Copies of this chain bind each other. A is one copy, B any other.
């Protein structure tokens, strides 16, 4: 296989693959100039990559003085990865090629009959996608699954009440045996954070926080370009920030002081307490627009507490930008309430941005991890310092609405 034995060769190959993925289509002469490797070495390695089917020629240069150069590009469909977003209500599966482009995508309601059934469902959705789109199944080399819980070292997934039966199952192993492909499991909010970071070069920042506000409130942290999971996988559990509700109230130990005043139930309960009426979250947003004071106050209280949360996060890790998503967080009205609240409780101004990927953020993050792992497996043999940075595809690829 492609993977070379010699350390020196691994580094060279990694460098060349990086150059071609990032700057392709590109000629061997240009790669040589960019990387500092000799023309001879570049030709040799590109030849091998071509023979193995990873890169291919896509034409020649024209219009310049001198001999025409043959330009190479990564063969997009030389390998595929499956990105999965396993939610409490829906499962979303995408097959992506080496450039990160979505080749096929599908959604289905999550089956609720146990962990084994969920892995079955995912396996068959992947299988279905390959057959429906006439894709060679053996091209799928890696599966990354985002789950609403905390993956443990033993393969089980803790704190995942929304997907019954995955707390007692070795999830990656089970899915791996069913598909014959390596499986990696990661928290969905973490993946969303990674996805937003990967897809959108927000000022080239490597320190961003993705804040998801919906049924619950949670954050994904990207620091120095890497995901932060914490010592027990609980990094970003900002629902437990000790303010909002009284942190010393025992109920706050269970639910989380902040979560009690900022997530879905908090909005609904507050509105009912004030008016005696039951409205769902979209209903409250709508009522607030029509001048309903109770609805407005409900949103304002949430916004104020979310601003405090952002202040707390910023005081601790000082990110360059906060991206907000989730069913509540993605609402523009809420962001506009958060900004002034934040300015009056935190000294530094910090950009608050809307998610660009919407409910596809986790899928994008899964893809970025899957591609990184694939490149390591294929070209670097796990060599430290030879990691390949996969550039993101067109923004539209993962934007909401597709499928």
Contact = CB atoms under 8 A, between A and B. Distances in A.
B308 A345 contact: no
A214 interface: no
Residue from A241, A311, A320 with most neighbouring chain B CB atoms (10 Å): A241
| Most B Cβ at <10 Å: residue of A240, A312, A347 | A312
A230 B313 CA distance: 11
Contacts of A348: 232, 234
A318 B11 contact: no
B224 A226 contact: yes
Contact of A316 (B226, B253, B312): B312
Interface in A303-321: 308, 311-320
A238 interface: yes
B207 A248 contact: no
Contacts of A312: 241-242, 312, 316
Interface string A353-394: 000000000000000000000000000000111100000000
A226 B311 CA distance: 23
B238 A316 contact: yes
A162 interface: no
A242 B386 CA distance: 42
B317 A316 contact: yes
A253 B346 contact: yes
Given A242-B312, A385-B384, A318 B232 contact: yes
Interface in A127-149: none
A317 B317 contact: yes
Contacts of A228: 223-224, 317
A237 interface: yes
A165 interface: no
A64 B242 CA distance: 61
Contacts of A248: 344-345
A275 interface: no
A86 B94 CA distance: 54
A7 interface: yes
Given A224-B226, A248-B345, A345-B247, A315 B254 contact: no
A236 interface: yes
A230 B345 contact: no
A221 B318 CA distance: 11
A235 B344 contact: no
A345 B252 CA distance: 7
A247 to B, nearest CB: 4
B235 A347 contact: no
A159 to B, nearest CB: 11
Count chain B CB atoms within 10 A of each CB in A205, A236, A318 and give the residue with the most.
A318
Contacts of A238: 315-316
Contacts of A290: none
A120 to B, nearest CB: 33
B318 A237 contact: yes
Nearest to A226: B224
Contacts of A311: 240-242, 247
A219 B316 contact: yes
A40 interface: no
15 contacts: A231-B319, A232-B348, A234-B318, A240-B315, A241-B311, A242-B312, A242-B345, A247-B345, A247-B346, A316-B316, A316-B317, A384-B384, A384-B385, A385-B385, A385-B386
Q: Which 3 A-B pairs have the closest CB atoms?
A: A385-B385, A230-B318, A384-B385
